[in-house]
């Protein structure tokens, strides 16, 4: 298979934008259309009562079940920095402080909010478990699961968890807590999960390991592929995974600044170079792949063959700016939700009136009809 060598011109331009914003005051907007085809929904989610003196921690995961049920995974809560007033916009990253550097208290690591940002559920029963690592890395539901189990990846615990829909019961655990390994029963800082229609799933593994691991629907190990390096099928920080309707597996090779494509058994098919820092992959139902770039702070659209189509976003701490979009998702009404590890917040974006549909992040596959 021929390896593509095209150059994506927007990367250079985005780097200039990033430098410009980095040199500007943290809360000051720049001159571009920062939010692309969207308007930011301010004061979302609502401040929690437990936030007195605290704010959101590094926010790593977000998943939308419906416009009124949005799951958020954060790495604990952080004390408000000196000089930051409580209320809307009170994020740890203002002024410029990465939320990944704060010392959290382990509270409200997994929450569910509605479309207005009101708290619906707080899975506090699992806070102590996440405190043994650095907090959850991703949160997802398989589009093919009628019971809508909730999956949580914790890279520092080296584990993958599967919960009941309401979070009351842990029904599957893969990996051994705090034990790193590279075999069929261990992970090396896993990062993400994606599924085939029959429930077979893939784990990107990860920060330490350089592989993708395939399991059957019951969690039985099937196969693995990948090794350290820069060649086809080799990785350096496997940070996200997505599966297309054609069953091709798209893998974020983050520190190699590229995306690799495989068949479902790990056969190398394609390589997309010059993707600066692919933090998260979002496969839309229409076959286009959307990527959050953690260095340029852009949301980027590619077609299924890796052709660059569109990008928007700018760095900053003001509402609508982006800093480290670690996960993103879309609801059935077209609203976009982002989780930012460095700003320490989740954001909601509403499509602008008359926005070009081709520039709106495509919704993923609709979830299976719930049996709940």
pLDDT value, residue 225: 98
32, 311 in Cβ contact below 8 A?
Answer: no
- Band of pLDDT at residue 2, cut at 50, 70 and 90: very low
Q: Considering only 12-21, 119-128, 329-338, which range has the smallest mean pLDDT? A: 12-21
State how far the Cα of 334 lies from the Cα of 312, in Å rounded to an integer: 16
Q: Cis link prior to 173 (omega < 30° from 0)?
A: no
Q: Can you read off the two tokens belonging to residue 142?
A: 């398989």
Distance CA 184, CA 166 (A): 29
Mean pLDDT estimate for the chain: 90
What residue ranges define each of the domains in the chain, with the CATH number in brackets? 9-359 (2.120.10.30)
Burial class (CB in 10 A: 0-12, 13-18, 19+), 292: buried
Give the largest Cα separation in the chain, rounded: 56
Q: Tell me how far apart the alpha carbons of residues 342 and 194 are, in angstroms, rounded to a whole number.
A: 24
Q: Give which of 311, 282, 314, 283 is closest to 297, Cα–Cα.
A: 314
Share of the chain above pLDDT 90, in %: 81
Q: What phi and psi, each to the nearest 5 degrees, are found at residue 255? A: -80, -10
* pLDDT value of position 13: 35
pLDDT at 72 over 50: yes
What would the pLDDT profile of 188-208 be if each residue is shown by its tens digit?
999 999 999 999 999 999 999
> 321: which DSSP letter?
-
């Amino acid at each position: 298979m021929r390896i593509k060598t095209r150059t994506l011109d927007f990367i250079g331009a985005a780097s200039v934008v990033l430098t410009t914003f980095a040199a500007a005051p943290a809360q000051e907007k720049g001159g571009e259309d920062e939010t692309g085809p969207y308007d930011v929904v301010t004061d979302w989610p609502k401040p929690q009562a437990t936030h007195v003196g605290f704010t959101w921690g590094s926010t790593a995961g977000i998943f939308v079940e419906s416009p009124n049920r949005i799951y958020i995974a954060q790495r604990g809560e952080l004390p408000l920095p000196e000089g930051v007033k409580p209320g809307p916009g009170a994020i740890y990253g203002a002024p410029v402080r990465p939320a990944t550097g704060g010392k959290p208290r382990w509270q409200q690591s997994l929450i569910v909010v509605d479309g207005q940002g009101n708290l619906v559920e707080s899975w506090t029963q699992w806070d102590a478990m996440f405190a043994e690592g650095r907090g959850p890395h991703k949160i997802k539901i398989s589009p093919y699961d009628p019971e809508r189990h909730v999956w949580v990846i914790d890279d520092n615990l080296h584990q993958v968890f599967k919960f009941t829909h309401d979070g009351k019961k842990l029904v599957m655990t893969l990996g051994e807590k705090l034990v790193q390994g590279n075999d069929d029963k261990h992970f090396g800082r896993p990062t993400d999960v994606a599924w085939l229609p029959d429930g077979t799933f893939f784990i990107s593994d990860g920060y330490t390991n350089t592989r993708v691991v395939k399991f059957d629907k019951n969690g039985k190990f099937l196969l693995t592929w990948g090794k350290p390096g820069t060649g086809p099928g080799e990785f350096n920080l496997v940070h996200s995974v997505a599966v297309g309707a054609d069953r091709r597996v798209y893998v974020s090779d983050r520190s190699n600044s590229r995306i690799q494509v495989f068949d479902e058994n790990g056969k190398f098919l394609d390589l997309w170079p010059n993707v600066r820092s692919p933090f998260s992959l979002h496969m839309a139902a229409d076959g286009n792949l959307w990527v959050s770039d953690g260095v340029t702070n852009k949301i980027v659209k590619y077609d299924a063959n890796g052709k660059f189509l569109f990008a928007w976003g700018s760095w900053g701490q003001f509402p609508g700016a982006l800093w480290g979009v670690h996960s993103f998702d879309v609801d059935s009404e077209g609203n976009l939700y982002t989780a930012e590890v460095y700003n320490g917040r989740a954001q909601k974006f509403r499509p602008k009136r008359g926005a070009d549909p081709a520039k709106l992040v495509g919704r993923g596959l609709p979830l299976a009809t719930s049996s709940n």
